[in-house]
Amino acid sequence: MSAAVENNKKKVTTFSFGEMKQRGEKISMLTSYDYSMARIVDNAGIDAILVGDSASNVMAGWNTTLPITLDQMIYHGASVVRAVKRALVVVDLPFGTYQGNSKEALNSAVRVMKETGADAIKIEGGEEILESVQRILSAGIPIMGHLGLTPQSINKFGTFTVRAKDEAEAQKLIRDAHLLEDAGCFAIVLEKIPAKLAAQVASELKIPIIGIGAGNQVDGQVLVIHDMLGITNEFSPRFLRRYHHLYEEIAGAVENYVSDVKAVNFPNDKEQY
């Protein structure tokens, strides 16, 4: 077995994330929320799996990420971890479990790490949540930051449009990114911001910057798997590339099944005992 293949089979860690940035290797990341999907995604060679609170949207059908609970995130996280051999697994702390009270933030992060077996947690925000970031990191729990469009603050923004287009917000984002790096976060997600700003942050910071709607001059990319596979078909932001149209494929298969059952074409003689 070649060294490259052997290296590729090694478990991805927060440390190897940093090494990938240093050697200029782009980092691939996708969400997953359940065992079966995570098994496929991991075996296909993804570097990192995000158990995102987007589960609130794509798994539970809510309009925002706000309703999902810590217990529900732990259920999704543990299901994913049971499937994964190589990818780094990061679990989102949900809305209301880390803002405002750093002791509660630490309790939430400890529960996720103990009860899921994940490698790291992700939280949204900069300066406002710095105390929580520091307390969680002091317990040895790796944190991925998340800046730009932070969906847990959607009621404050009032819109899902591109963030940090004006100078003041861009300057705050740059300051926040440095604060998170200095505190000890191992990576940061930048969501839906101008590509030029994301490129600047990626070049100023040593830790990997993972983009979603943040251009290609960052250190890696993340997408919601239901969007990139075309399971969701009503959400079409400019940054989304659909690699499949599974909604139509699944609907077609179900239609065929329904008509086979109705016509007594299923099961046939070979499909029974």
Catalog residues that contact ligand KIV under the rule CB under 6 A. Answer: 31, 50, 52-54, 92, 189, 191, 212, 222, 224
Crossing angle for the helix pair 70-81 and 102-116, to the nearest 10 degrees: 30
- For ligand KIV, which residue has the nearest CB? 52
Residues 6 or more apart whose Cβ sits within 8 Å of residue 91: 50, 51, 73, 74, 76, 77, 112, 116, 118, 120, 121, 122
* Active-site choice (6, 104, 191, 249): 191
CB of 200 to ligand KIV, least distance (A): 20
Q: Minimum Å distance from CB 3 to ligand KIV?
A: 32
**Cβ proximity to ligand KIV, 103 vs 116, nearer residue:** 116
Return the ∠ at Cα 42 (arms to 201 and 56), rounded to 5°. Answer: 70
Q: Minimum CB separation from ligand KIV for residue 134, in Å?
A: 22
Q: Give the C-alpha separation, 239 to 129, whole Å.
A: 28
Beta bridge partners of 187: 144
CA pair distance 107, 135, nearest whole angstrom: 10
Dist CA 251 CA 253 (whole Å): 6
Residue 191 annotated among the catalytic residues of the structure: yes
Closer by beta carbon to ligand KIV, 10 or else 238: 238
Least distance in Å: CB of 32 to ligand KIV? Answer: 10
Sign for the CA dihedral angle at 70, 120, 123, 148 comes to negative
Taking the least distance from each CB to ligand KIV, the nearer of 50 and 174 is 50
**Which residue number, 54 or 132, has a Cβ lying nearer to ligand KIV?**
54
Which of these, 230, 134, 259, 146, lies nearest to 192 by C-alpha position?
146
Q: Which residues are catalytic?
A: 191
